Amino acid sequence: MRPRILIVIVNYKVAKLAIDSLASLEGELSSLPGIRVVVVDNDSRDGSVEALRMAIATRGWDDWVKLEPSSQNVGFAAGNNLGIRLGWRTLPQSPPDYVLLLNPDTVVCPGSIKVLLKFLENRPEVGIAAGRSEDPDGTPQHCCFRFPNAWNEFASNARLGVIDRLLRKRICRVPISDEAHPIDWASGAFLLIRREVIEQIGLFDENYFLYYEETDLIRRARQGGWTCWHVPQSRIVHLVGFSSGVTVRHRRPDRKPRYWFDSRRRYFLKHHGFFYTAWADLLAILGVALGRAREILLWRPKAYPPRFLWDFVRNSVFVKGNRLQREGRSTWNIVESATAA
């Protein structure tokens, strides 16, 4: 029997891009007939549901795509959980062997899902595999990373070449490679997860609204004995920032929303505790201060988000304290959630 793959796409106000992403999956159906897709619309309220419903009907996608409108914008983590639970309930006798997370602002290159699938089938010890993200012109994007730590918080925020060189083995970004290799974590834009991983560690922690949720999930998988690999032979075109409106390139980014800081703080508190989080916050704030001072002294263009230093301070544990919110269940047992009423 061919492996069944459940693809989950969470849309928020980018229906046209989501439709293009679905169209890129059509060519995969002949070689991977077990594909099923759930599109969760996160209460876009901009006509996305109607546009998606019409595209599914007129293009004949009804037999492999299901649209699930959400009554509220629940964020990336809860949106993906909603799609996974729905997929599990609709296939109760034969749940999918793999779950593929796919951003709506992506186009899947031909054969790329099959490459990831074959890789995981040949490497049973690997729980998660990520493909390469590229610009429309084929330029590879940084999509593989080391787990966040205090020193790469300092280096990534200071943005000074000498610090990057000194901390090159600790910085967050992993150098782009043309060979498959193990990594700490990868972007959730294109991520294939083995079913057994989800059954063991549960779903996304829904206390993350957006950002750090895939980092948390992959870290929990690592703690459960599973590895994550980057497989660059599998490729997508990723229109960075279109789905979230936060991550942008080639211009000064917008002010960071509070949920970014909330997610970052939750991740550090959850996995490292209060004192290490305070150390990471201190180094991050110092890094931003050094970087901003360099911009001012050298008359460099502003590259940091507006009010970034102040926002970092007021969202640090020095101000927010050691409150790790635990609203509801932060991880879900897939069997329990799939059979819940």
At 3-50, the pLDDT tens digits run 689 999 999 999 999 999 999 999 898 888 889 999 999 999 999 999
Three-state helix/strand/coil letters over 268-293 = HHHHHHHHHHHHHHHHHHHHHHHHHH
Core vs surface per residue 252-267: b (16+ CB within 10 A) or e:
eeeebbeebbbbbbbb
What is the percentage of the chain residues whose pLDDT exceeds 90?
A: 74
- The first and second tokens of residue 109, run together, are 């290159």
Q: What is the pTM of this model?
A: 0.91
Query: CA-CA distance, 321 to 73, in Å (whole number)?
Result: 27
* Phi-psi label, residue 310: left if phi above 0, alpha if psi -120 to 50, beta otherwise: alpha
Q: Which fold has domain 5-140+176-249?
A: Spore Coat Polysaccharide Biosynthesis Protein SpsA; Chain A (3.90.550)
Residue 120 in contact with residue 194, Cβ under 8 Å? yes
**Is pLDDT at 142 greater than 60 in this prediction?**
yes
State the Cα–Cα distance between residues 182 and 148, nearest whole angstrom. 16
Residue-wise pLDDT for 180-219, tens only, equals 999 999 999 999 999 999 999 999 999 999 999 999 999 9
Tokens of 268: 């550090």
What is the band of 337 on the pLDDT scale with cuts at 50, 70, 90?
very low
Confidence at 166, pLDDT banded by 50, 70, 90: low
Q: Are strands 181-183 and 227-238 parallel, antiparallel or unpaired?
A: antiparallel
> Which pLDDT score, from 0 to 100, does residue 269 have?
96
Q: What is the mean pLDDT of residues 119-139?
A: 96
pLDDT at 242: 53
